[in-house]
Chain A
């Protein structure tokens, strides 16, 4: 069974740091691009970061660029999100999601076909 399991969410003080993990199983992790998506309490989904299977290409949303770092360890089938300088606005459930690319009508994009259950990060003093 294909599965993603996040961990590492916690209560952290403003300005603090936290590292999230996402362990994959049941599929070829090393050939799969991955993403982090978050959802603040009672709010919508927000995409925050992407990494290719090899780890050589990485993108970030402007809201986390310079503070968050996405990485992966294919030998451990794991994806990570290092979060620094956390603020109240970072309080959210964080999901990892597998990326699947496609091309349609002359342009290419991707979608998220497998999601973890999420891990809660609360930033508060």
Chain B
């Protein structure tokens, strides 16, 4: 299996910009997707295929990728953006399988 590494936690002041990163060899080949999960709720798709916003997701969310790092950027963070965020890509040892990142807790101050 392969790993996708994320910072465990980041904080951002209300209205400011925060970038969440996801590092792993599979990112070089397979575009990442991003999910938001609030406490007690199911994950919600935020970004798919590297930089496409899912339906209903505000345009303050954007995705990008360079080399082995995928990024999710929240420009003008809102209180409701406080959540856990997970990236997802393919397993480099068996690309039929998915692997999730370790997750990042975003706190909006």
Interface footprint category on A: 20 to 34
A43-72 vs B, Cβ < 8 Å mask (1 yes, 0 no): 011110010000000010110000000000
Give min CB distance, B68 to chain A, whole Å.
14
CB-CB contacts below 8 Å: B93-109 with A: 96-103
Which of A24-32, A77-85, A107-115 is found at the contact surface with chain B? A107-115
Q: How extensive is the interface on chain B, given as a class?
A: 20 to 34
Asked if residues B1 and A62 are in contact (CB atoms below 8 Å), the reply is yes
B residues near A59, Cβ cutoff 8 Å? 96-97
Give chain A nearest CB distance to B71 CB in angstroms: 16
* Interface pair B96/A44, CB less than 8 Å apart: no
Give the shortest distance, in Å, between A97 (CB) and chain B (any CB): 8
* Residue ID in chain A nearest B65 by CB atoms: A105
Residues of B within 8 A of A (CB): 1, 29-31, 33, 35, 37, 42-45, 48-50, 54, 86, 88-90, 96-103
